[in-house]
Structure 1
Amino acid sequence: MERWNRAMAAIEEALDADIEVAALARHALTSEYELRRVFSVLTGIPLSEYIRRRRMTVAAAAIVADREAVQDIAVRYGYSSADAFSRAFRAVHGVGPEQARQPGAVLRTQPRLTFHLRIEGSSEMRYRIVRKDAFRLVGRKARIPLVYEGPNQAMIEFEQNLGQQERERIAAPSNEQPTGELAVCHNFDESREDGSSFDYYVAAATTSAVPADLDVIDVPASTWVVFEAAEPTLEAIQQVWPQAFGDWFPANPYRAIPAPEIVRADYDEDGALLGAEVWLAVESTA
């Protein structure tokens, strides 16, 4: 985690200057993609939003001191106008700069984040590494909001509206691992924050010919890490992502790469969840 904390320190040093994500990624010895992705998964907010909140936290001290014009403070923290700065300030603190200068004004703070490796290793993760040639994911898609915890109602409604017959038609061409009907998450908003949007597919993995009316993702040859959900519950499946990026990736010589994220679930005859696995594309850092 030391390299991630170096990136956090670099943010603090440049709150009154331009902050390049590429430079932060170099501090963390990772890619811009992985830096943004892991940060959002572990903290629940996008990297850009964290930087904005930290800037407004520090800028609040200058505002309250009331020794400089708002325009001068705005320029110092990278805003071209007092209006743009005031909008950002209000979004974080709930009040504008002039209101913040009034006696008794209540402001908010974004604490500086630091990352710590949990030495106890209490969360065991079962996984396997799979190397696959190119294949296609084919099915139906919808643009829906990202939900980190609890049921995703938009996802549920999309699956229900497809109907069982259509879902069986989608699964029919499956001839590749992971087999059967799959839940596929792809093309996330850059922020990847709770409530942002992504493409959700009910799909199958195949190399066969498929109906022309289905949506298709061409997946190049890749290495995949396949995690087993600890329990047959929605909560356990959702916890795979924070456990993977918080525990597994820091301890193993791999990093995530841009690719569809796949969930394969098994059910009994009554529709009860028996188990699930999450497929994430990776590359070796060894």
Structure 2
Amino acid sequence: MIGTLNALVDLVDRTTDEPIDLAGFARSHGTTEYHLRRMFASLAGMPFSEYVRRRRMTLAATDLVSSHTGLLDLAVRYGYSSVEAFGRAFRTVHGVSPSDVRAHGGPFETQAVLRFRLIVEGSRPMDVTITDRPAFVLAGHAAQVPLIYEGVNPHIQQHIASIAPEEHARLKSLNDTEPAGILAITDGSEPDAPEGILVTYLHGVALQHDSTVPADLSGIPVTAGAWATFRSSGPFPQTLQKTWAATATEWFPSNPWRLRPGPTFVRYLELTASYADAEIWMPVERA
């Protein structure tokens, strides 16, 4: 996977005037677009599409100050059909217009070429279990919340606090298949979704695929397949979020598994205001 990501970065600099065929690239490297986008975003700290835009606008800024190429020609060179569209993208990245950079030589921001490296420290083994599960349904109380990668998500906290105590007992009584207990479920986002985008958060439980979901609850059907379950114990939410990040930086690059589309969720075995013993469930398939 590390070699594939570096080959993708090289492709970005070679292909500036048209969209990157990410699906075709993924197939040619024996992986999937879904997994590739997820791993790129996790390791780079930005969606692939954002890296492409930043890198192209970096190259465009260099061309502006080092050549006399017309703005329309530059727009076409970097994949835009009009000077206006090119100008909007340029200003979004650099905060100034192309004409300002041409006239004054800057200022503009630079997106360096990314290089991915796998550093194996071996300081902490990851506790992971792979299981095959039949199809099931996730059912519970849903809300649209902004995606937050670090720290406690106050929108999720507010949603859970709005659920009556008796509803938690009711959800547990509906749970008729593994994984057991109340689940914190995230669904509906792109694999490389940026922070702040709205996603579906479901406070719910797992039901057998043919069980009836009560009319007042939301349901998410889940296809049969393999699941990687990562155990995480320690200060909350820091340890859980570090374990989540380590799946991308340590586990997936060195194991023959990749993510497949589907919801991810957390099963809390013990949870207090400052401590959590939990399992992170991710849908996977053999790479």
Common fold: TM-score over 0.5: yes
Q: Which residue of 1 aligns with 2:283?
A: 281
Give the aligned residue type for 1:90. Answer: R
Tell me the TM-score normalized by structure 1.
0.93
Give the aligned residue type for 1:281. Answer: P
Q: 2:224 aligns with which of 203, 221, 225?
A: 221
Look up the SS of the partner of 2:174 in the other structure: coil
Q: Which residue of 2 aligns with 1:60?
A: 61
Q: Which residue of 2 aligns with 1:181?
A: 182
Tell me the TM-score normalized by structure 2.
0.93
* C-alpha distance after superposition, 1:188-245 (max 9, x if no partner): 0454111122110001011244422111111121111100114242111112232111
* C-alpha distance after superposition, 1:97-136 (max 9, x if no partner): 0111233631101111111111323342111111111111
Could you say if the C-alpha distance between residues 28 and 197 of structure 1 is closer, same or farther in structure 2, counting changes exceeding 3 Å? farther
Counterpart contact for 1:189–1:196, Cα < 8 Å: no
Q: Which residue of 2 aligns with 1:259?
A: 262
Counterpart contact for 1:189–1:197, Cα < 8 Å: no
Aligned partners of 2:97, 2:274: CA distance in 1, in Å?
51
Shift of residue 168, structure 1, vs aligned partner: 2.5
Counterpart contact for 2:236–2:274, Cα < 8 Å: no
Look up the SS of the partner of 1:248 in the other structure: helix
Aligned partners of 2:183, 2:235: CA distance in 1, in Å?
16
Aligned partners of 1:274, 1:70: CA distance in 2, in Å?
55
How does 1:50-199 map onto structure 2 within 5 Å? Answer: 50-103=51-104, 105-189=106-190, 191-199=192-200
Percentage of pairs with the same residue: 38
Aligned partners of 2:191, 2:131: CA distance in 1, in Å?
27
Aligned partners of 1:137, 1:97: CA distance in 2, in Å?
50
Q: Which residue of 1 aligns with 2:253?
A: 250
Could you say if the C-alpha distance between residues 132 and 3 of structure 1 is closer, same or farther in structure 2, counting changes exceeding 3 Å? same
Counterpart contact for 1:223–1:282, Cα < 8 Å: yes
Give the aligned residue type for 2:147. Answer: L
* C-alpha distance after superposition, 1:124-180 (max 9, x if no partner): 211111111111111011111111111111111111112322232222211222211
Structure 1: which 5+ runs fail to align? none
Counterpart contact for 2:16–2:77, Cα < 8 Å: no
Counterpart contact for 1:7–1:28, Cα < 8 Å: no
Could you say if the C-alpha distance between residues 190 and 262 of structure 1 is closer, same or farther in structure 2, counting changes exceeding 3 Å? closer
Counterpart contact for 1:266–1:276, Cα < 8 Å: yes
Counterpart contact for 2:270–2:278, Cα < 8 Å: no
Say what the alpha-carbon RMSD is for the aligned residues. Answer: 1.8
Counterpart contact for 1:171–1:180, Cα < 8 Å: yes
Shift of residue 12, structure 1, vs aligned partner: 1.4
Count of equivalent residues: 284
Could you say if the C-alpha distance between residues 40 and 180 of structure 1 is closer, same or farther in structure 2, counting changes exceeding 3 Å? same
* C-alpha distance after superposition, 1:52-90 (max 9, x if no partner): 100000010111125011111001111000000000000
Aligned partners of 2:105, 2:4: CA distance in 1, in Å?
40
Aligned partners of 1:89, 1:146: CA distance in 2, in Å?
26
Counterpart contact for 1:258–1:281, Cα < 8 Å: yes
Aligned partners of 2:71, 2:96: CA distance in 1, in Å?
14
Counterpart contact for 1:167–1:202, Cα < 8 Å: no
Shift of residue 31, structure 1, vs aligned partner: 0.6
Aligned partners of 2:32, 2:73: CA distance in 1, in Å?
34
Aligned partners of 1:271, 1:233: CA distance in 2, in Å?
7
Q: Which residue of 2 aligns with 1:37?
A: 38
Could you say if the C-alpha distance between residues 52 and 274 of structure 1 is closer, same or farther in structure 2, counting changes exceeding 3 Å? closer
* C-alpha distance after superposition, 1:241-267 (max 9, x if no partner): 321111111111111101110101123
Aligned partners of 1:107, 1:217: CA distance in 2, in Å?
45
